[in-house]
Structure 1
Amino acid sequence: METTGIIKKVDEPSDWVHQLVVVMKKNGSLRICLDPRNLNKAIKRPHHPFPTFDEISALLSGAKFFCKLDAQSGFWMLRLDEPSSKLCTFQTAWGRYSFLRLPFGLNSSSEIFHSIIARTFQGISNVCSFQDDILVWG
């Protein structure tokens, strides 16, 4: 993750230092997540409504062709600013690191990611996003 620019090693003191947790995905692979329980209590979550199943079903009415795109590791495509990066510092056996990209585990990560995906496809017909999936139909 360090070589791909997702995290960086830090030596300076930090007000926030979190642990990492490993979560199993539905497909059985593992996902590394920040465990920022205390930070999550202080975060003011942005409001970005997710479409409901009924809303998505109504959009798909009459469609014959479907394509589901998975924005795999999409959170890591979103760069954090310096103050946010410092808030996302974590401890490992190999030292202290900070996330440079949006980590899994923040309570606002889903809303931030989904709002950017929704803006990206705004105004384009037959495209809808939900979480990290993008649905295209015709």
Structure 2
Amino acid sequence: TNWVPGAAPVTRAPYRLAPSGMKDLSEQLKELSDKGVIRPSSSPWGAPVLSVKKKDGSFRMCIDYRELNELTVKNRYPLPRIDDLFDQLQRTSVYSKIDLRLSYHQLRVREEDIPKTTFETRHGHYEFQVMPFGLTNAPTVFMDLMNRVC
């Protein structure tokens, strides 16, 4: 990933979370760590974490990468227009659906960029080893890869 010239690391203190959100966050951090998705970090970068309540009452960990995204040079790879996709579907008779659950987590982050993915929680400082959701260039990087594969 390319960065705005002269950009210094940004860090924000963790947001306050409800006790129920803290419990879910702790479990999610353990699961992500056990799977090798995240690891402890001492990076000077640090984005805060939000807990968003899901329909089932549990909480989803979301990372607020807004400040990091402002320092990121945007990847201009073209994302498809929805109307173009629907036009392509009209000429087909067989459809397949593939669920790419946690698809971004299949893509490794370059070692030199891993510290920039750092996020801060009351449980510690962690960094992603795979592409997290919320980075400004994640959709275009993923679309580029899918177009190369298909």
Matched, 1:3 2:34: yes
Give 2:44's aligned residue: 15
1:1-138 to structure 2, matched below 5 A, reads 1-10=32-41, 12=42, 14-23=43-52, 31-121=60-150
Task: Indicate the residue corresponding to 1:130 in structure 2.
Answer: none
Q: Are the structure 2 counterparts of residues 7 and 80 from structure 1 closer, same or farther at C-alpha, using a change threshold of 3 Å?
A: same
Where does the alignment leave 5 or more consecutive residues of structure 2 unmatched? Answer: 1-31
Conserved? CA contact 1:32–1:104, under 8 Å: no
Could you tell me the TM-score, scaled by structure 1's length? 0.75
| Per-residue deviation, 1:68 | 1.7
Cα RMSD (Å): 2.2
Deviates more, 1:72-81 or 1:57-66: 57-66
Q: 1:67-117 deviations in whole A, cap 9, x for unaligned? A: 221211001111011221100111122211111111111111111111111
Name the CA shift for 1:58/1:25 in 2 (closer, same or farther; >3 Å). farther
Shift of residue 30 of structure 1? 5.3
Q: Call closer, same or farther: CA 1:95–1:110 in 2, change over 3 Å.
A: same
CA distance in 2, matches of 1:56, 1:26: 29
Once the two structures are superposed, residues 12-70 of structure 1 have per-residue CA deviations (whole angstroms, 9 ceiling, x without a partner) of 3x221111123467998754332111111010111121221221122122422212212
Bigger helix fraction: 2
CA distance in 1, matches of 2:53, 2:88: 32
Question: How far apart, in 2, do the equivalents of 1:119 and 1:27 lie?
Answer: 36
More strand by share: 1
Q: Which runs of 5+ in 1 are unaligned?
A: 122-138
Q: What is the identity percentage for the equivalent residue pairs of Structure 1 and Structure 2?
A: 30
Question: Residues 31 and 75 of structure 1: is their aligned pair in 2 closer, same or farther, counting only changes over 3 Å?
Answer: farther
Q: Give me the whole-angstrom Cα distance separating, in 2, the residues matched to 1:64 and 1:28.
A: 39
Matched pairs, number? 119
